[in-house]
Structures are given as C-alpha cells and as structure tokens.
Amino acid sequence: MTAPVFILAGEPSGDRLAASLMEAVNGGWGQQDWIGVGGPAMRAQGLAGSVDMEALTVFGFGAALAAYPRLSRLADRLVDQIVQARPKAVITVDVKGFSLRLAMRLKRRMAQLGWSAPIIHCVAPTVWAWGAWRRHRVARAVDGLLCLFPFEPAYFDELDVKTHFIGHPEAFNPVYERPQRVGAGGAVHLTILPGSRRGEIRHILDPMLSAFGMMTKRHPGITASIPTLPRLAPEIASGCARHGVEGVVEIDQSEGALFTALARSDAVLAASGTVTLQTALYGIPGVACYIAPKLSAAIGRRLVRMDRVILPNALLDREVYPFLFQDAATPQAMADGVAAVLADKSAMTRATEDASLLRDQLRGGATRFETKVGDALAEWFGPRS
C-alpha cells in the first residue's frame, strides 16, 4: 500500500494554494492519497480529512492567545494522526504559527520513534516585512521551504533548510493575461473587498460601507460589488442593510465572483492580504486598508514595516496601493483615497503596466506553476513519472 501525503491549510487563500500544490504533485507523480486539513479546493483534488480548515483561523494576537489551548490540542491530535499514517511527506501551507508549532512537535515525536518524513512548508514567513528573527525558528522546524516571491530564498541561504522559489500560482492564471473590461466609460463601479475572515469583516466592513456611502454623494450613480464566500454573505448583507446601500451594492458569492467584479471596476477598496495581489495582477488601481483589534495593532506598529505589508508594494518596491492602517483607515480617508484614484486619469494605465511587471516577476521564467513546483518537490518525491 502506497504511503499517503499529509497536507494542511487554514484559510481560503491557503486552500487554493494547497490545491495547486496537490494538482502539481498528482500531475508529476500520479494521484496521491491525500490526508490532512483543508477546504473545498483541496477536497476537489482528493483530500480526505475530518478537520475543517476554519478550525485554524484566528484573527489578531488576542484571539490567537485565547485560542492557544484549543489549537495546541488540535496540533497534538494531528501529530498522532501523522505518526499513525506514516506519510511519505508532510506539507503545511501558510497558517505559519500553527504550522511551525505542529512541525516542531512532529519532529520531536519522529525522533523518539526513529522514523521520519520530510516536513515541507509553503509560504515563507514574511521576514522581509517583520520579524527577521523568525527565519531561525523556521529552519529548525522544517526540512524544506517553498517560497512564492523571488527575493525570499536569500533570507534563508545561510540556514539549514532547503529553500526553493516556486513562483506564485496567481501569476500563472490565464485570466490575468487578457483581463476582461466591461462597462468601461459608464457609471463608476467599485469593488469592495473586506477580507475572507469573519474577524476581518467585523472590523472593516462598516468603515468601508460608510466610505462608499460618502462616495455616492461625490459620484452619483456609482455602484459597487462585494465578491465573497457563501458563508460570509449573510453577515455582509446585514452590513449593507445597516448602511442603507443594499440596492447599490451587489453581493456576489458565485464561482469567479472576484473576476466578474474586477471586470466592471474602476477601482478597488481592499483589505490587505492576498487579494491585493490578485487585484494588482488584474490591473485595477485602488486603496488598501486594514483595521485590527487594538492589541494586534499596537504590536504590529512596533514590528511591521508598513511599506512592505501590501504585497504589490513589497514586490515592486514602491507604492502600488496606498495603505491605510488602523486609526488612519477612517471612512473619510478611504473615500478620499478612492476619489483620488478615480480622478487620476493615468491610474488605470499605470495599473496595467504594474500588472505585467508583477506577472513576469512572479513567474520566474516558467510558463506553468506545476513545472516550478515539480522541480522543487523532486528533492523529496524523487523523479517525476
């Protein structure tokens, strides 16, 4: 009987990325027996798991501290599962705090048992934005590190961890090659992206909708879309009702909702995260913002380089999206920021040029994401079939 592969991811962006890794492995080495933790995209690639990825999602330092006992018990259960299954490899995707805790406990258990499997983590900790010291913990916890951004491997060169730049799957998505543009020249349309976690939405949706309400006075006829997940749609609908904008803000929970919205959009108002990379690759200008719990914000101000929090800004080493954080992310500031983008006649042209630069940088000379992943994983999986 062939040994399975354990894989874990903890939020929608990680689910999509992990599914891309699974697809690459299935294509290069044949369909694998996948076990672990994930979401719908991973299940579509063959994942069998009894733990839903939402169990790993926490928002803010305070929530992380409160959730520690629960997550610690979950890590112990997963270590037991892995040891019993004896997989050929253990792959963790993002959710860095939990993934590294799991990896350290698993390494200790494997050492006790005299058995080992390679532990491979995908998505390097953002040591280029904050906490460069964390790279040492990563190197102790895992055997391999798959990096999405070309400048990341250099941070780990002198450490005892095998590091590979695999590119970013979003850059290989053909939707960005010839992005659709519909309704250009008509009424102004805004895509509002309040995040994919309930905690994020609770903190940032209301200010975003207040900002949109202000914009309706400056731009008569303006409309907006909020592409989201079905599980979050009721909460977003309640917010729209509170702000009296349910008639002009469309909530779209269908497959491909983000790209449907971007095709109509003149600008975006987005919470910081992977989605800012998606909107930049599509070539839409806009404003990024974030509002965190007070404890998280206080710690973040001390540790984080704000000029590198937004992925397109970090990759191109300049401001692609202005970033409004915490107290600066007021409805008025959001509305003013989007208004400035809409008034800038060259904003869309610059955004299109930036999209091309980002795409080239994140592909690393390859034409298929699976090729980059396969080249990296051959280190542990052996020659491809």
Q: Are residues 372 and 319 in the same domain?
A: no
Q: Which pLDDT score, from 0 to 100, does residue 54 have?
A: 66
Q: Which pLDDT score, from 0 to 100, does residue 61 have?
A: 43
Across all residues in the chain, what is the average pLDDT? 86
Residue 385 pLDDT more than 60?
yes
Residues in the chain: 385
If pLDDT is split at 50, 70 and 90, which confidence band does 64 have?
low
- 181: containing domain: 175-362
CA dist., res. 347 & res. 267, Å (int): 9
Q: Are residues 130 and 188 in the same domain?
A: no
Q: Characterise 60 by phi-psi region: left (phi > 0), alpha (psi -120 to 50), beta (else).
A: left
Q: Are residues 196 and 70 in the same domain?
A: no
Q: Are residues 222 and 351 in the same domain?
A: yes
In three-state form (DSSP H/G/I as H, E/B as E, the rest C), the secondary structure along 239-289 is HHHHCCCCCCEEEECCCCHHHHHHHHCCEEEEECCHHHHHHHHHCCCEEEE
User: Which among 222, 168, 165 is positioned nearest to 192, based on CA atoms?
Assistant: 222
Question: What is the signed CA dihedral for 92, 79, 75, 231, rounded to 10 degrees?
Answer: 60
Better pLDDT: 103 or 124: 103
pLDDT tens per residue across span 8-24: 998 788 888 999 999 99
CA atoms in the 13 A half-sphere facing the CB of 142: 32
User: Which among 172, 151, 173, 171 is positioned nearest to 163, based on CA atoms?
Assistant: 151
Q: Which pLDDT score, from 0 to 100, does residue 134 have?
A: 66
Q: Are residues 328 and 226 in the same domain?
A: yes
- 131-163 b/e (C-beta count within 10 Å ≥ 16 → b): eeebbeebbebbbbbbbbbbebbebbeeeebbb
**Percent of the chain surpassing pLDDT 90:** 56
Burial of 179 (0-12, 13-18, 19+ CB in 10 A): middle
CA dist., res. 256 & res. 252, Å (int): 9
Residue 157 pLDDT more than 90?
no
If pLDDT is split at 50, 70 and 90, which confidence band does 59 have?
very low
Query: Please, which residues bridge with residue 48 across strands?
Result: 35
- Give the list of residues 6+ apart from residue 318 with CB closer than 8 angstroms, or none: none
The arithmetic mean of pLDDT across residues 337-343, rounded, is 96
Q: Are residues 238 and 358 in the same domain?
A: yes
User: Which among 159, 168, 106 is positioned nearest to 134, based on CA atoms?
Assistant: 159
The arithmetic mean of pLDDT across residues 325-352, rounded, is 94
Q: Which pLDDT score, from 0 to 100, does residue 60 have?
A: 45
Q: Are residues 10 and 145 in the same domain?
A: yes
- Give the list of residues 6+ apart from residue 201 with CB closer than 8 angstroms, or none: 194, 195, 232, 235, 236, 239
Asked if residues 21 and 373 have their Cβ atoms less than 8 Å apart, the reply is yes
The arithmetic mean of pLDDT across residues 148-175, rounded, is 89
- Count of CB atoms situated within 10 Å of the CB of 56: 24
Better pLDDT: 275 or 183: 275
Residue 315: both structure tokens together: 């990759």
Count: domains in the chain: 2
Q: Are residues 238 and 342 in the same domain?
A: yes
- Count of CB atoms situated within 10 Å of the CB of 243: 16
Asked if residues 249 and 223 have their Cβ atoms less than 8 Å apart, the reply is yes
Token pair 């040994």 in the structure block, residue: 3
Q: Which pLDDT score, from 0 to 100, does residue 155 have?
A: 83
Q: Which amino acid is at 57?
A: T
Q: Are residues 93 and 184 in the same domain?
A: no
Residue 271 pLDDT more than 80?
yes
Q: Are residues 368 and 357 in the same domain?
A: no
Q: Are residues 231 and 213 in the same domain?
A: yes
Q: Return the CATH number at 140.
A: 3.40.50.2000
CA dist., res. 160 & res. 144, Å (int): 9
What is the CA 242 to chain-centroid distance, rounded? 29
- Give the list of residues 6+ apart from residue 215 with CB closer than 8 angstroms, or none: 190, 222, 335, 338, 339
Asked if residues 135 and 153 have their Cβ atoms less than 8 Å apart, the reply is no
The arithmetic mean of pLDDT across residues 318-333, rounded, is 92
User: Which among 52, 120, 122 is positioned nearest to 90, based on CA atoms?
Assistant: 120
Q: Are residues 349 and 370 in the same domain?
A: no
